[in-house]
Amino acid sequence: MEIELVKIQAICGVKASFYSFREQGNDKTKFEEFLRIYNVDHGNEVMNILGRLRSMSSKESIEEGYLKMGEGRPGDGVCALYDRPRSILRLYAFKLSSQILILGSGGVKPKHIKALQQDPILTYENSLLRRISKTIDTYIKEGDIYYQNDGLEINGQLAFEI
Amino acid sequence: MEDNFNDIIEELLNEITPLYQAQTDAKMSIAARIADAMKAKGWKKKDLLKAVGKTNQSVITAWLSGTQNFTVDTLVEIGMVLDINFLNINNNIIKFKVQDDKNQSDTFDLFSQITQLNNHEGRKYRSLA
């Protein structure tokens, strides 16, 4: 699968930047799909997620505590944004650094589901972030993707196969 | 395409009231300060857990999540173990003149001394503040 990383200017700020990605042939990023689908029935949770992202980008940067880490392979940076303890929406992301978060999509994770593997949508969206994190890590080590603008931007090979 | 998406996000962001954003910012800020203080002390979650006398680590996770709506009591408790003054309240110094023939003193630390003063029977106090 060929994907392209896209910076989401509207929620970027002086403390952090957010990227998402789109699959080849799709004009919408995964994060846009997430907002469009889940804003309908879970508007409050979507608002809270956006508010938190704006807080991170404008005031605090990306503290690990803000995220539910450990949603991928050990140490791969794949995480989830859940807005409140009683929320059921799960947005998967990849924490590249304390200043850059790659946002994917996610879905509804009701409390009776203990593991994401019990839900095919969550499994799929999570797997995309795992593959992206692995590829980006390799590209960064090889210098094909690099940081700019004091760590608030990434450039280089932003379109790649996963 | 991207301009359209950014417009959509802007629309959604505009639905967040200033109060709601300020409340979100405050919770995130408190969480960041707790995390920074733990880092400064070299503490892991289990260290903070022990310091506040709790047993369930999910409490600490919630504190660090930026979603917690803290009570004042909890902020004071966390502040004491991490040396953070979340509420930025200083001990106010109020001048009291003790109407006492033998001893007159003024300027007491409010919180530490007022109880002691109140325990002395027969003395009358008036605030000079």
Residue pLDDT, tens place only, A10-47: 999 999 999 999 998 899 999 999 999 999 999 999 99
Euclidean distance between CA atoms A79 and A102, whole angstroms: 10
Check residues B93 and B24 and name the one with the higher pLDDT. B24
What's the mean pLDDT in A43-63? 95
Q: Does A56 touch chain B (CB under 8 A)?
A: yes
Q: What does the pLDDT look like over A144-158, one tens digit per residue?
A: 999 999 999 999 999
Q: What is the mean pLDDT of chain B?
A: 78
Contact A10 B25 (CB under 8 A): no
Which pLDDT does position A11 carry in this prediction? 96
For residue B36, the model assigns a pLDDT of: 96
Beta-carbon contacts of A94 under 8 Å, excluding residues fewer than 6 positions away, are: A72, A76, A77, A78, A79, A101, A102, A104, A129, A132, A133, A136
Give the whole-angstrom CA distance, residue B73 versus residue B66: 18
Quick one: pLDDT band at residue B120, thresholds 50, 70, 90?
very low
Per residue in A89-116, pLDDT tens?
999 999 999 999 999 999 998 777 667 6
Nearest to A83 among B12, B16, B67 (CB): B67
For chains A and B, what is the number of CB pairs under 8 angstroms? 82
Reported as a single tens digit per residue, the pLDDT across B57-78 is: 999 999 999 999 999 999 999 9
Residue A109: the pLDDT is 85
Task: Give the pLDDT confidence score for residue A82 in this predicted structure.
Answer: 72
Q: A65-95, pLDDT tens digit by residue?
A: 999 999 999 999 999 997 576 788 999 999 9
Q: How far is CA A46 from the centre of its chain?
A: 14
A10 to B6: CB separation less than 8 angstroms, yes or no: yes
DSSP helix/strand/coil, A91: strand
Residue A51 sits at the chain B interface (C-beta within 8 Å): yes
- Burial class of residue B19 (count of CB atoms within 10 Å of its CB; 0-12, 13-18, 19+): exposed
CB of B117 within 8 Å of a chain A CB? The answer is: no
Q: For B9, name the nearest residue in chain A, comparing CA atoms only.
A: A10
What is residue A131's predicted lDDT score, i.e. its pLDDT? 96
Check if the beta carbon of residue A69 is closer than 8 Å to that of residue A124. Answer: no
Mean predicted confidence (pLDDT) in A121-149: 95
| Complex ipTM value | 0.91
**pLDDT reported for residue B88:** 76
* Percent of chain B with pLDDT strictly greater than 90: 57
Q: A46 in contact with B at a CB cutoff of 8 Å? A: yes
Model confidence at A119, in pLDDT bands (50, 70, 90)? confident
User: Rounded to 5 degrees, what are φ and ψ at A88?
Assistant: -120, 0
Residue with tokens 């029935």: A41
Residue A116 per-residue DSSP state:
G
Supply the pLDDT for residue B80: 96
Q: Average pLDDT in the B114-129 region?
A: 43
Cα–Cα distance between B43 and B49 in angstroms, integer? 10
Does residue B91 have a pLDDT over 50?
Answer: yes
Q: Is any Cβ of chain A less than 8 angstroms from the Cβ of B62?
A: yes
Query: Which of B7, B43, B67, B69 would best serve as a mutation to test chain A binding (most A beta carbons within 10 A)?
Result: B67
Q: Is the confidence at residue A55, as pLDDT, over 50? A: yes
**B107 pLDDT tier (thresholds 50, 70, 90):** very low
